[in-house]
Amino acid sequence: MKNSLVAGIVMITVLAGCSSVPERGGAKVVHVPGAQVDLGNTPMVKKTLYAQYNQWKNTRYQMGGLSRSGIDCSGFVHVTFKTKLGVVLPRSTEFQAQLGESVHKDQLRAGDLLFFKTGIKDRHVGIYLEDGKFLHASTSQGVTISELDESYWKSAYWKAKRLDI
């Protein structure tokens, strides 16, 4: 009985992935006064995102986490936009996916949000860098850079959103 309970809890945790962390307030963006990076300045956004990667690479994945000791995908996007780009996004993937304008995959630029369907209800989010690469907190690798053309991400790709703010 105890083993099946533990197995059930582990299965629920794995299946939950990075779908979302409940929050209040819905999908909205708040600016950090004096700290905002122009998201249209692609070279500056790329530089900022690569610097964030260098600070956070290999940080382990932790559902609900928001620190260097563990972070999930939507938390990493939330922290990156807040601390590096001066924009406070919602904490959950669900609300992040409601922001911005849709952008076609062949029109992506650094800073665009990428969304993936990783399960029946599970969603994953990352930040586009360049040349088909994106930055995210992976459940298996922690904070990492992956390629959109990798078979897993290619088949799970859902949509991209641009925050022109």
Contact 76, 120 (CB under 8 A): no
Query: What's the confidence (pLDDT) of residue 133?
Result: 98
Q: Which residues are catalytic?
A: 73, 124, 136
CATH 3.40.50.300 fits 2-162, yes or no: no
Query: What's the confidence (pLDDT) of residue 25?
Result: 53
Query: What's the confidence (pLDDT) of residue 38?
Result: 86
Residue type, 64: G
Query: What's the confidence (pLDDT) of residue 35?
Result: 56
* pTM as predicted: 0.83
The conformation of residue 32, written as its DSSP 8-state character, comes to P
Query: What's the confidence (pLDDT) of residue 164?
Result: 73
DSSP result, 44-71: HHHHHHHHHHHHHTTPPB-TT-EETTEE
Q: Cβ neighbours of residue 133 under 8 Å, at least 6 residues apart? A: 145, 146, 147, 148
Query: What's the confidence (pLDDT) of residue 27?
Result: 56
In whole angstroms, what is the distance from residue 54 CA to residue 40 CA?
22
Query: What's the confidence (pLDDT) of residue 29?
Result: 54
Query: What's the confidence (pLDDT) of residue 5?
Result: 40
Query: What's the confidence (pLDDT) of residue 11?
Result: 38
The rounded average pLDDT for each run of 10 residues, N- to C-terminus, in the chain (165 residues) is 42 43 52 70 96 96 97 98 93 96 97 97 97 97 98 98 85
Query: What's the confidence (pLDDT) of residue 23?
Result: 47
If phi > 0 it is left, if psi is from -120 to 50 it is alpha, else beta; for residue 54 that is: alpha
